[in-house]
A and B are shown apart, each in its own frame.
Chain A
Amino acid sequence: MSADGPGTRSTSAGEFEEKVKELHQRKGRNLAMGGPERIAKQHERGKLTARERIDLLFDPGSFVEFGLLAHQQSMRGNEIDPPEKTPADGVVTGHGLIDGRQVWVIAYDFTVMAGSMGAVGEAFKTSRVRELAMRYRKPIVWLLDSAGARIQEAAGSTFAGSGMLFYDQVQMSGVVPQVSAMLGPCAAGTAYIPGLSDFVPMVKGTSSMSLGGARLVKAATGEDVTDHDMGGSQVHCYESGVGDNEVDNDQECIAQVRRFLSYLPSSNLEPPPWVPTEDPSDRDVEGLDELVPANPRQAYDVRKVIRRIADQGGPAGEGLRPAAGRGDSLHSNSSWFEVKPSWAKNLVVGFCRMAGHAVGVVANQPLFKGGILDVDAADKAARFIRLCDAFNVPLLYLMDVPGFLVGSGVEKEGIIRHGAKMLYATSEATVPKITVVMRKAYGAGYFVMCGKGYYPDLIVAWPFAEISVMGPEGAVNIIFNKVVEAAENPAETRAQLVERIRETISPYVAAGWAMIDDVIDPADTRRVIIQGLEQARDKKVERPWRKHGNIPV
Chain B
Amino acid sequence: MTEVKAELVGNVWKVVAAPGDKVEEDDILVILESMKMEIPVVAPRAGTVKEIRVKETDVVKEGQVLAVLE
Chain B residues 18-66 with CB under 8 Å of chain A are: 26, 33-40, 62
| A372 at interface by CB-CB < 8 Å | yes
Which A residues are CB-close (under 8 A) to B8?
369, 372, 374, 405
Of chain A, the residue at the smallest CB distance from B36 is A471
Of chain B, the residue at the smallest CB distance from A403 is B35
Q: Pick from B9, B26, B35 the residue with the most CB of A within 10 Å.
A: B35
A409-429 toward B: CB 8 Å interface, digit per residue (1/0)? 100000000000000000000
Task: Categorize the interface residue count of chain A.
Answer: 20 to 34
Q: Which of A299, A326, A368, A402 touches B35 (beta carbons < 8 Å)?
A: A402
Which A residues are CB-close (under 8 A) to B26?
326
Question: Cβ of B38 and Cβ of A370 under 8 Å apart?
Answer: yes
| B7 at interface by CB-CB < 8 Å | yes
Q: Which of A298, A374, A409, A442 touches B38 (beta carbons < 8 Å)?
A: A298
Question: Cβ of A297 and Cβ of B36 under 8 Å apart?
Answer: yes
Q: How many residues of B contact A (CB 8 A)?
A: 13
Of chain B, the residue at the smallest CB distance from A370 is B37
| In the complex with contacts A326-B26, A405-B8, A370-B62 CB distance below 8 A | no
| In the complex with contacts A299-B39, A299-B40, A370-B34 CB distance below 8 A | yes
| A371 at interface by CB-CB < 8 Å | yes
In the assembled complex, the Cα of A552 lies from the Cα of B37 at a distance in Å of 29
Question: Cβ of B7 and Cβ of A299 under 8 Å apart?
Answer: no
Tell me how far the C-beta of A123 lies from the nearest C-beta in chain B, rounded to whole angstroms. 47
Question: Cβ of B38 and Cβ of A297 under 8 Å apart?
Answer: yes
Which A residues are CB-close (under 8 A) to B33?
297
Which B residues are CB-close (under 8 A) to A453?
none
| In the complex with contacts A326-B26, A409-B62, A370-B9 CB distance below 8 A | no
For the residues of A in contact with B, the DSSP-based class is loop
In the assembled complex, the Cα of A227 lies from the Cα of B38 at a distance in Å of 39
Tell me how far the C-beta of A444 lies from the nearest C-beta in chain B, rounded to whole angstroms. 12
| A544 at interface by CB-CB < 8 Å | no
Q: Which of B37, B40, B62 touches A371 (beta carbons < 8 Å)?
A: B37
In the assembled complex, the Cα of A405 lies from the Cα of B62 at a distance in Å of 12
Question: Cβ of A409 and Cβ of B9 under 8 Å apart?
Answer: yes
Tell me how far the C-beta of A553 lies from the nearest C-beta in chain B, rounded to whole angstroms. 24
Q: Which of B9, B37, B40 touches A407 (beta carbons < 8 Å)?
A: B9
Chain A residues 388-410 with CB under 8 Å of chain B are: 402-403, 405-407, 409
In the assembled complex, the Cα of A101 lies from the Cα of B60 at a distance in Å of 53
Question: Cβ of B37 and Cβ of A368 under 8 Å apart?
Answer: no
In the assembled complex, the Cα of A405 lies from the Cα of B7 at a distance in Å of 12
In the assembled complex, the Cα of A265 lies from the Cα of B40 at a distance in Å of 40
In the assembled complex, the Cα of A409 lies from the Cα of B64 at a distance in Å of 14
Of chain A, the residue at the smallest CB distance from B10 is A370
A-B contact sample (13 more), CB < 8 A, given A402-B36, A473-B36, A474-B36: A299-B37, A326-B26, A369-B8, A370-B35, A370-B37, A370-B38, A370-B39, A371-B37, A372-B8, A406-B35, A409-B9, A409-B62, A442-B36
On A, residues with C-beta under 8 Å from B are 296-299, 326, 366, 368-372, 374, 402-403, 405-407, 409, 440, 442, 471, 473-474
14 contacts between A and B (CB under 8 A): A296-B36, A366-B37, A368-B7, A370-B34, A370-B35, A370-B38, A402-B35, A402-B36, A402-B37, A405-B35, A409-B62, A442-B36, A471-B36, A474-B36
